[in-house]
Amino acid sequence: MTDVATPESSPGATAGEGEPLLLQGDSITKSFGGLVAVDDVSFSIPRRSIVSIIGPNGAGKTTFFNMLTGLYRPTQGRITFDGRNITGRRPDKITAGGMARTFQNIRLFATMSALENVMVGQHTRMKAGLFGSIFRAPWVKHEEERVRDVGREMLAYVGLADDQFEQMAVNLSYGDQRRVEIARALASGPKLLLLDEPTAGMNPQESARLTEFMHKMRDEKDLTILLIEHDMQVVMGVSERITVLDHGQKIAEGKPDEVRANPRVIEAYLGKQGDKEAPDGDDPEREES
Amino acid sequence: MSVVAERFNRHPNLFIALGFIALGLMFPFFFDSGAGQMQTAVQALAYVAMALGLNLIVGFAGLLDLGYVAFYALGAYTMGWLGSGFFSEAGGGDGLHILVSGQITALPGVHVNFLLVIVAAVIVTTIAGMLIGLPTLRLRGDYIAIVTLAFGEIVGRIAINGDEITVNGTPLTAGRQGITPVDKIKLPGLDQFQALDLRPWYFVALAIVVVVLIVNFRLRDSRLGRAWVAMREDEVAAASMGVPLVKTKLLAYGTGAAFGGVSGAFLASFLNTVNADQFQFSFSIFILAMIILGGLASIWGTVVGAIALSIINFYLIPEVFKNAPQKIGLNFDLTELSFGIFGFLLVIMMVLRPEGLIPERRRKIELHEGVGPTSGVGKTVVEAKG
């Protein structure tokens, strides 16, 4: 994995905490026809941090993710990842550059086994092409074995039972599917892991375990994690910084305590005439639209 | 004994393949070398190779291609152009001869060694496959089918009207008259093949099928094969996991087309003609029906489907049951009903066993258990295929 950051951009490559920035977005805007889904959002993530994006439904969080991972091209603005300008790059290039994601509605390859799913995750870390595969040169065989081993390792790491490895993704339990999705993302060897509502559909115990696991991944895999999350327990427990989006605009940013106390955030979550209770504890937006 | 059993469990396909090849090698010795059954068998093998090529596009990568006949046509015309007297003005009327020997060197026209023609056919069809892939890159499901269908029709129309398309006074094709005769296969160390001695043809066709099978199996269990299936299941997720969609799709189109080209070149030489009437839309459907009958995405299923439909088309309908209508007092030619019979078979198949004769395990699950909760956009692709 190449780690040579071409310093073509990244002005002021250090954040407040002194860690260098891994991801930086400058005035990112995305409009679909007349609808402005993300409006002039600037944003940065220091290396080895865990950052959350929260906001009511339709705030533009997933659109924001899709721009980072290359599924959408920003209408305006610039995204710098690991020192490189990745604005509007192809998703597979961005993945190769070290960004991996999971999806809000799990999107595994349904009829492939758990292991095969994770092997696809390593696509950008493999070299075998058409002719290499047809003639199955020794190095191709070794590569296959290596990828298989890494796949098993990743599945074990996320806590999937051995006997589930060869199960088809579609037959796995919901929790296991979430696990496999994270394993598949990890398999691509990312620097930045994007998790889109990883605790959706989990009970509080499972969410707590995932929170713990996020810390573990960050420390052991040297990861930076960006997550979209609705469960405030998780958000407040895991995030070092929180960005709040509402109607496509960034309305607040900062440490969990600061965000919790921010009147605009409270307003966005509870409405203007709502009472003064902070939006932690129960999550009003749990149900997905 | 247990060693054999263990090996079988580890490489079942290898053992099935060895059995298949052994059967294939024995087959011609049960029949006279000029028998009708041999003729059927050679064509069936050529169709197996084509069906395997189309299966790679439709079955593995999930790109519904209804214009596969185009690759048959291009392969056949490559053979026709490079191995017949069609370009009679070539070489100032003396002919152009590349690595050929024997009486052919005295004939006018272009005559190129068969192995080189095969290489040329692979190159031409691979490029054509990728070209037809380009406009479909942003499309999904049914829309891909429509574009590829149009491409097949375009090639077919050009073939029919090619006798009036001239370049420097030379027509492009011979239209419905056909380019004939086409050079018989001549392999190094062997005599030129004869029209009435079908065993050599049969063994060449078998060799082509074996090569195509090996390529199919190896690709299926490779990085590329996994990428194809991933793309078929969910394009967005595949791209997000690092699969380059454009390249991966074009490789599917190109590789699948190449098999059609090889097979087409072989058939041109075997049938001794390259006739525009061979390249009709119904041929694409014929090959697609083989795959669906056998089991979409299943390699052995495709082989069985192709053999079954070939036998029905070339042997059962025109020979065995030829007189069936007369026997029940009707007066029509059963071959006119061929496509009706295929359609009927497909309907029966869809009702009784929609996953095909030898289903691929993935398809079986899709059809019997639903695609389940992990499928997002991929589902529309699957639906479009069915």
Asked if A30 contacts A67 with a C-beta cutoff of 8 angstroms, the reply is yes
Closest residue on chain A to B362 (Cα): A111
Determine the Cα–Cα distance for residues B246 and B252; give it in Å rounded to an integer.
10
CB within 8 Å: A108 and B237: yes
Taking Cα atoms as reference points, which of A229, A247, A246 lies closest to residue A238?
Answer: A229
Instruction: Give the three-state DSSP class for A192.
Output: strand
**B244: which chain A residues are within 8 Å (Cβ-Cβ)?**
90, 92-93
Pick the CATH number of A14-98+190-278 from 3.40.50.300, 3.30.70.20, 3.20.20.80, 3.90.1150.10: 3.40.50.300
| Phi and psi at residue A9, to the nearest 5° | -140, -130
**A123: which chain B residues are within 8 Å (Cβ-Cβ)?**
223, 226-227, 241-243
Quote the percentage of chain A above a pLDDT of 90: 73
Supply the pLDDT for residue B379.
36
> What's this model's pTM, rounded to 2 decimal places?
0.87
Residue from A63, A86, A120, A168 to probe the interface with B (highest B Cβ count within 10 Å): A120
Tens digit of pLDDT for each residue in B111-147? 999 999 999 999 999 999 999 889 888 888 789 999 9
Interface membership of A131 toward B (CB under 8 Å) = no
Interface membership of A150 toward B (CB under 8 Å) = no
**A151: which chain B residues are within 8 Å (Cβ-Cβ)?**
none
Residues in chain A: 289
Tens digit of pLDDT for each residue in A188-238? 999 999 999 999 888 899 999 999 999 999 999 999 999 999 888 899 999
Alpha helix (H) ranges present in chain A?
A: 61-68, 91-96, 114-121, 130-135, 138-157, 174-187, 204-221, 232-238, 256-261, 263-270
Interface membership of A277 toward B (CB under 8 Å) = no
Strands A76-81, A21-32: pairing is antiparallel
Determine the Cα–Cα distance for residues A203 and A224; give it in Å rounded to an integer.
25
Strands B110-112, B83-84: pairing is antiparallel
Burial B178-195 (b: 16+ CB within 10 A, else e): bbbebbbbbeeeeebbee
Determine the Cα–Cα distance for residues B267 and B274; give it in Å rounded to an integer.
9
Strands A192-196, A224-228: pairing is parallel
Interface membership of A184 toward B (CB under 8 Å) = yes
Residue A20 is given by DSSP the state B
Tens digit of pLDDT for each residue in A229-287? 988 889 999 999 999 999 999 999 999 999 989 999 888 887 765 444 444 444 444 44
> Which of B218, B222, B239 is closest, CB to CB, to A91?
B239
Interface membership of A201 toward B (CB under 8 Å) = no
Determine the Cα–Cα distance for residues B144 and B222; give it in Å rounded to an integer.
25
Tens digit of pLDDT for each residue in A142-178? 999 999 999 999 999 999 999 999 999 999 999 999 9
Closest residue on chain B to A170 (Cα): B372
Asked if A260 contacts A54 with a C-beta cutoff of 8 angstroms, the reply is no
Closest residue on chain B to A117 (Cα): B230
Which pLDDT band, with edges at 50, 70 and 90, does A141 fall under? very high
Taking Cα atoms as reference points, which of B220, B212, B245 lies closest to residue A144?
Answer: B220
**A136: which chain B residues are within 8 Å (Cβ-Cβ)?**
218, 222
Supply the pLDDT for residue A267.
87
Strands A50-54, A241-246: pairing is parallel
CB neighbours of residue B294 within 10 Å: 30
Asked if A200 contacts A143 with a C-beta cutoff of 8 angstroms, the reply is no
Residue A285 distance to chain B (closest CA, Å): 22
CB within 8 Å: B372 and A110: yes
Supply the pLDDT for residue B321.
84
**B222: which chain A residues are within 8 Å (Cβ-Cβ)?**
128, 133, 136, 140, 144
Tokens of A110: 């349904």
Interface membership of A1 toward B (CB under 8 Å) = no
**A101: which chain B residues are within 8 Å (Cβ-Cβ)?**
240
> Which of A123, A134, A171 is closest, CB to CB, to B227?
A123
Tokens of B39: 């003729």
Asked if A246 contacts A271 with a C-beta cutoff of 8 angstroms, the reply is no
Supply the pLDDT for residue B141.
79
The one-digit pLDDT tens for each residue of chain B (386 residues) are 567 777 777 778 888 888 888 999 999 999 888 888 899 999 999 999 999 999 999 999 999 999 999 999 999 999 999 999 898 888 788 888 888 888 888 888 999 999 999 999 999 999 999 998 898 888 887 899 999 999 999 999 999 999 888 888 888 898 889 998 999 998 988 888 988 899 999 999 999 999 999 999 999 999 999 999 999 999 999 999 999 999 999 999 999 999 999 999 999 999 999 999 999 999 999 999 999 999 999 999 999 999 999 999 998 888 888 888 888 888 888 888 888 888 898 899 889 888 889 888 776 666 665 544 444 333 333 333 33
- Domains of chain B are 40-385 (1.10.3470)
Interface membership of A100 toward B (CB under 8 Å) = yes
Closest residue on chain A to B251 (Cα): A130
Asked if A42 contacts A25 with a C-beta cutoff of 8 angstroms, the reply is yes
Tokens of B356: 């095909």
Residues with Cβ < 8 Å from A28, sequence gap 6 or more?
Answer: A38, A40, A41, A42, A43, A64, A67, A74, A76, A77, A78, A79
Residue with tokens 């900062």: A254
**B224: which chain A residues are within 8 Å (Cβ-Cβ)?**
128-130, 133
| Residue spans per domain, chain A | 14-98+190-278, 112-188
Supply the pLDDT for residue B90.
82
Which pLDDT band, with edges at 50, 70 and 90, does A69 fall under? very high
Residues with Cβ < 8 Å from A73, sequence gap 6 or more?
Answer: A67, A87, A88
Residue A1 has pLDDT above 70, yes or no: no
Supply the pLDDT for residue B376.
39
